[in-house]
Structure 1
Amino acid sequence: MPYRRPLFLAIVAASVFAPAVAAACGVSGPDGASLCALAGGGGDNTRGGATVSLGYQTSPRVVLQTGIGALLGGTFDAPNGRHTFAPGFLATAGASWRLFGGPEVDETTGEAVDKNPFVVVSGALSFLSSTTTRGNERAVGYNAFDLRGGVVVGVTLAERFRPYILGRTFGGPAFWRYEGAAKQGTDLYHVQVGGGASVALGKGWAVYAEGVPLGERGVSGGLSTSL
């Protein structure tokens, strides 16, 4: 049975909060990062952003994705005070591969069925560019890269509701200037553990929400459609 090759247009909004334990200083997509080792032991780093992404399904199990977006702002608490992020630019590219489960075609009846559980692995490279300011000082450039891989395990209920758990690992440098000196940050911890769910609304539309309480903490939500 032939498969369709749809485009997926996803509009995603996200925000984060600074945890008491660590996370990263890379890009992390629109949801930013929470702790970063850039200057004197680092500090709380909270960012929010929005992205629009486009995906192309090359096979029933593989989707290639790319996206652009905006950093909407945030703060970085360094030892010398609070630095404020200006609106900036986000870009990402990656792919996902459904290893097991999910939508399948029953060889006997030819009808579509959902096999549980489904397992999806993914990888993505992201880039962020912004500036920071402290008080009335001149703006300082902030650029970061983030490479991450992840796995999602979930089930399909009532043909529309898909709850899942997730685990991700990541790493990447951030480049900044602190008190006039060039600084290169790195991740303090390299994990993200959480969960979420998506709901099919019909006619190719779906919504999702995701929360990550462990490691790099964050929340995100989005709306998608297939063409």
Structure 2
Amino acid sequence: MRTHVRFDNDVTFELTERAATAFAGYSTPRGWSFRATFGALVDGSLSRDATPHDISPGLVGGVGVSRQWMLGDGRWFITGSAGLSVAAASTHLAGAANDPRFVAGDIRAGAIAGRTLAKIWNPYVLARGFGGPVWWTVDDMATTGTDTRHFQLGAGLSVAMSFGLTLTADVSALGEQAASLGASWRL
């Protein structure tokens, strides 16, 4: 994930994060899904000019809900989603011993729309809006910030196998930039 965060001291940093997560969820026959996510913030940085602050490994967690609607002949679909998440880690300048805390909260709403092809291929377009605070100590000053762009636009593909496995690839190229790969197994 890559975005820009403007802090209350009018300083903007480029934020990059790489995370690995797992989730457990429950889906209802009426199209509702509920899930909890937990994982690790593996790597990242906050950069301004030539001054990168490395993000150490940390924690990521969240909860979400979504609802899917099938349209027309049952091959078109729209899914709406909402979620809350938080990431926490420490940061440091290269070679420095300081350990300021970095915490980012997020509330997100989105929609995907697509069509099922050959019963297993599900290409889609996506739009998401979000916001939330980022708390960080930089230059010995506690600051609060938020993203400079509060949206994502992109596309993805999910492939549903007959034995319950679904593979997903998702790319957001406009706004907050992100890419994700996923696999889920329906029990």
Q: Same fold (TM over 0.5)?
A: yes
**1:22 match:** none
**2:74 match:** 115
Instruction: State the TM-score, normalizing by the size of structure 1.
Output: 0.77
Residues 80-159 of structure 1: pairs in structure 2 closer than 5 A: 81-101=51-71, 115-135=74-94, 136-159=96-119
Aligned equivalents of 2:97 and 2:51: distance in 1?
A: 12
Aligned equivalents of 2:78 and 2:107: distance in 1?
A: 20
Residues 26-105 of structure 1: pairs in structure 2 closer than 5 A: 33-38=2-7, 40-78=10-48, 81-101=51-71
Aligned residues: 185
Aligned equivalents of 2:64 and 2:17: distance in 1?
A: 22
Consecutive aligned runs of 4 or more in structure 1 exceeding 6 Å deviation: none
By percentage of residues, which structure has more strand? 2
Q: Which amino acid aligns with 2:4?
A: L
RMSD over aligned Cα atoms: 1.6
* More moved, 154-163 vs 194-203: 194-203
Deviations 1:63-95 (A, max 9, x none): 011110100011111358110000000001010
Runs (5+) with no aligned partner, structure 2: none
Aligned equivalents of 1:80 and 1:194: distance in 2?
A: 30
Larger RCO: 1 or 2 (CA < 8 Å, sep 6+): 1
Identity of aligned residues (%): 32
Partner of 2:117, secondary structure, is coil
Q: Which amino acid aligns with 1:214?
A: L
> Is residue 40–residue 79 contact of structure 1 (8 Å, CA) maintained in 2?
no
> Is residue 3–residue 147 contact of structure 2 (8 Å, CA) maintained in 1?
no
Deviations 1:26-54 (A, max 9, x none): xxxxxxx4211125431221110111011
Deviations 1:157-211 (A, max 9, x none): 0000000000000000010011111100112111100000011122101101011
Aligned equivalents of 2:43 and 2:32: distance in 1?
A: 33
> Is residue 151–residue 166 contact of structure 1 (8 Å, CA) maintained in 2?
yes
Equivalent of residue 178 in structure 2, options 212, 215, 218 = 218
Aligned equivalents of 1:49 and 1:215: distance in 2?
A: 19
Aligned equivalents of 1:170 and 1:70: distance in 2?
A: 21
Equivalent of residue 173 in structure 1, options 133, 145, 150 = 133
Q: Alpha-carbon deviation of 1:58? A: 3.0
Runs (5+) with no aligned partner, structure 1: 1-15, 17-32, 103-113
